Amino acid sequence: MGENTLCPKFFKATEILSKRWNALIINQLLLGPQRFCSISSSLPISGRLLSERLKDLEKEDIVSREVYPEVPVRIEYRLTAKGLALQKVFEEMTHWSQEWIQIEAKKD
């Protein structure tokens, strides 16, 4: 067998971005800091799964969670510098999809 030439860092990056909902959450947060309810209302994802994905993205240092000591407590999620560095990737993916992806009309 030949050596594995797959770059481990590239593999890890694609693993993070391809995990279900992660790319859409990051794309949503590229619009700026948001509260949980705002992210939840913009994506068709359950609250439990959104919470899990946000925690995963926090562990990867892509998303940060800021708690404001107010009554009631306000929590905002935002992209870290590492997360914001993905902006060009997402812009290029948007450009590519606009040019090359065709969406078939739903048949009822």
Instruction: Give the whole-angstrom CA distance, residue 83 versus residue 30.
Output: 8
Measured CA to CA, the distance from residue 28 to residue 87 in angstroms comes to 11
Residue 6 placed within a domain: no
Structure tokens at 20: 């279900």
How many structural domains does the chain have? 1
CATH of the domain at 37: 1.10.10.10
Find the mean pLDDT for residues 23-50: 97
* pLDDT for res 4: 63
Residue 8: inside a domain, yes or no? no
pLDDT score recorded for residue 105: 82
Q: Is residue 108 part of a domain?
A: no
* In the predicted structure, residue 14 carries a pLDDT above the cut 50: yes
Q: What is the pLDDT of residue 3?
A: 55
- The pTM assigned to this predicted structure is 0.88
Query: Is 93 inside any structural domain?
Result: yes
Residue 48 placed within a domain: yes
Strand runs (DSSP E) across 1-108, as ranges? 34-35, 63-68, 74-79
**For 51-94, how does the pLDDT look when each residue is reduced to its tens digit (9 = 90+)?**
999 999 999 999 999 999 999 999 999 999 999 999 999 999 99
* Domain limits for position 84: 13-98
Average pLDDT (85-105) is 95
